[in-house]
Amino acid sequence: MLHVTPRYLAGAENGEIDTVLGAIPEAYGWHTRPAVNGPAEYFTPFASPCERVRMGFRNDYDDVPWQIVARSDPYSGGLADWQMTFGWHTPPEIVAAALDEVAAAVEESRGSNEKHAFVRGGSGLGALYPFALRGWSETITARACTLTSPDRLVTARLSLAEPPLHKDGPWRDPFLKVACATGEQSTSWSARFTANVPQRVLNAFTTAVASPEPLLRNADGLTEGMKAQLTTVPVAAAGRAEAATGTSPALIAAGEVPRTVLSTPPPTTLNTAAPRPVPHR
């Protein structure tokens, strides 16, 4: 087992994704729904207890297998309040950080008229603070603010001219897009968010991406190309229990499996210290 950094290059393997998927019902109290639009073995659907948030994972190498949709009125049949998608090789710990925050917001909204899970409630620029605090370079145009990682492999682009909530869904015209392009399939991924994704969910995701904390990976699952891009530190078997503490609820519920991905928890909110604002020209 290896601790690897930067975490956004850690990639994802099938076994790791299956571990997170299998843990979701226990971790969040969500339930599975009958599979639609394909055989059950290719599509794993989940829904929150209130049916207002639904998540599907397509196990057929779809470009965006993780698809999460939120509707404040689940039975209206209208447009969703927001959507977000994650590419196949998005590290599952980073996906879990966003799902943890969605589940927490849904739980807070349960049994009340509050809509914590359906209103952004802040400026989307706040989601870029974790990147700015880590020294990512910045480019601002009239239409977008883009931050780029020091290794130039990841970009986070936030639209400054907000699109309609669901113009073409989150794929073609996302409000926020974070993309990792390494030139190698096993470490390249993207995440897309429509407008109105709650600020806390955006913050949880971008904080998890920017975090300097390492992720745990099995050396046998890393290609030579991945190893060349990563900084790796061997983890003694005795140190695995310590590495596993304080993880996402979904990862805790998954239990300790040899191929399970475990890391320190990404914070769900920004640090209390006043962040350095993203400068504007």
Does residue 75 fall inside a structural domain? yes
Does residue 224 fall inside a structural domain? no
> Among 201-205, 228-232, 265-269, 275-279, where is mean pLDDT lowest?
265-269
Does residue 160 fall inside a structural domain? yes
What span, in angstroms and rounded, lies between the C-alpha atoms of 211 and 219?
21
Q: Which domain holds residue 80?
A: 14-212
Does residue 218 fall inside a structural domain? no
pLDDT for residue 176: 92
Reduced to 3 states (helix: H, G, I; strand: E, B; else coil), residue 132 is: helix
- Residues 257, 23, 81, 111: is their CA dihedral positive or negative? negative
Does residue 91 fall inside a structural domain? yes
Global pTM reads 0.79
What span, in angstroms and rounded, lies between the C-alpha atoms of 66 and 85?
5
Does residue 266 fall inside a structural domain? no
Q: How many domains does the chain have?
A: 1
Does residue 220 fall inside a structural domain? no
| Each residue's pLDDT tens digit, 132-172 | 999 999 999 988 999 999 999 999 999 887 665 554 455 56
| Each residue's pLDDT tens digit, 19-75 | 777 788 888 888 886 655 555 555 678 888 888 888 887 766 556 678 888 888 877
Does residue 24 fall inside a structural domain? yes
